[in-house]
Amino acid sequence: MAFFSDRSLNILNIHYCLRAMGWEMCSMFTLSYLYKQGLSLPAVFIAYAGMLCVRTLTRPVAMYLCLNKGVRFTLIVGTIVFACRYLVMIPIEGVSFLLIPFMLVSGLADVLYWVSYHNYFASVGSSDTRGSAVGIREAITTTVAVLGPLFGGILLSIDRIYAFLLPFVLTLVSVFPLLKTPDIPKPVPATKEEKKQVGHFGFFVFVGDGWFYQAGAVWPLIVFMILDDNYGNFGFILALAAFFRALGNLFFGSMIDKGKGRLISYIGYGMHIAVFAVRGFFAYTVPVIIACDFFAAIAYCFSMTGLMSAVYNATKSSAHPLYFTYYTELGWDAGAITAMLACAGLAAAGIDLRWSLSIAAGGALLSAFVLGRYYGQNGKKSDLKKAA
């Protein structure tokens, strides 16, 4: 396990674990929280789409900071802003001007953090052990984050101030490991030629992931309503799903490094589509919900490891890694925004929200197709190198 010898990667994973604990306490509760605070279902989805639009519009800010202050500096600033997103959620009450700080801070936090984090993670470690590194990261953070939904659900049942203050503190603490990580060379602006060479793999695979993730995120809201808007029970269901997911990440990550990336991606996204179908037509009781969460968690081990291993390796090998990340994340924004607007349309028309899972299934199909082509092409290149 050579990737454990990379000190920078180990410290970065400590940061990620702390931030993930805070995020897991709130992420899956966000749509449910907005709904519980008095927003109608269409308003919930439009508010979230507004946040994602802010993420897109403020993307040049992330690029500017990375180019002028460095990727590591932007990651530190992004983490601090990420912490603040929890504070602006506390006062939300119905449709009011208080939604504006939520959209502005959350959107800026997302873009500052993820553009710099993905770029930094891609710059450290080796392409040969990338799948294992991603698997280790996901296994560790998911194991830690199993407690997140439990604490989040309990705290939200008691007092929302406590429920958002703890993630705020955890995210701020996660800044300290970043102070121990080395800086990486400051990127220079991409030339026209480098922009042409960046390719469209990252953009389209993340369009699919945006559809898949954001439309799929409506499922926890459906479960929340099935459980009679009970935060405690909802937190337990989420924690159980996270535990299932933690079990498989390391094994599937090592399979990526053995050249099984395309197979892993096909299995993972195929399982997701099957789970979406069962959730849409049969999941109305707690036992069926738990069974679906178990298989979705196993599918996640395949799909996320396959997706991010490919994206990180493509980032590192691209003509301009920062621009690749910038362009790739734009694809995710496009997918996620259209998914939320489609869900808002379904809700406004009075159509069962379970149909939003068909959008998520479409995203899974797109991501699987693009990843299949990527791993197929890179497998051929690898074979040619060995032959040479």
Question: C-alpha distances in angstroms, 100 versus 81, 230, 326, 348?
Answer: 15, 27, 25, 22
Token look-up 């991606």 returns: 265
pLDDT score recorded for residue 286: 79
AA identity, residue 213: Y
pLDDT < 50: residue spans in the chain? 1-3, 253, 382-388
Buried b (16+ CB within 10 A) or exposed e, 79-113: bebbbbbbbbbbebeebeeebebbbbbbbbbbbbb
Rounded Cα distance between 324 and 301, Å, is 25
Q: Is 270 exposed, middle or buried (0-12, 13-18, 19+ CB in 10 A)?
A: middle
Residues with Cβ within 8 Å of 220's Cβ and at least 6 positions away in sequence, in order, are 28, 29, 31, 32, 234, 238
From the list 274, 286, 276, 246, the residue with the least C-alpha distance to 358 is 276
Rounded Cα distance between 372 and 142, Å, is 26
pLDDT score recorded for residue 245: 61
In the chain, which ranges are continuous DSSP H helix? 7-24, 30-36, 41-57, 59-69, 71-87, 99-123, 130-145, 147-158, 160-173, 175-178, 192-197, 201-216, 218-226, 231-246, 249-257, 261-281, 286-317, 321-348, 356-387
From the list 149, 325, 107, the residue with the least C-alpha distance to 238 is 149
Do the beta carbons of residue 182 and residue 8 sit within 8 Å? Answer: yes
Domain ranges across the chain: 2-387
AA identity, residue 303: S
What is the distance in angstroms between the CA of the first residue and the CA of the last residue of the chain? 27
pTM for the whole structure: 0.85
Question: C-alpha distances in angstroms, 29 versus 10, 49, 118, 149, 238?
Answer: 29, 16, 24, 8, 9
- Could you tell me which CATH number the domain at 2-387 has? 1.20.1250.20
AA identity, residue 249: N
Q: Is 47 exposed, middle or buried (0-12, 13-18, 19+ CB in 10 A)?
A: buried
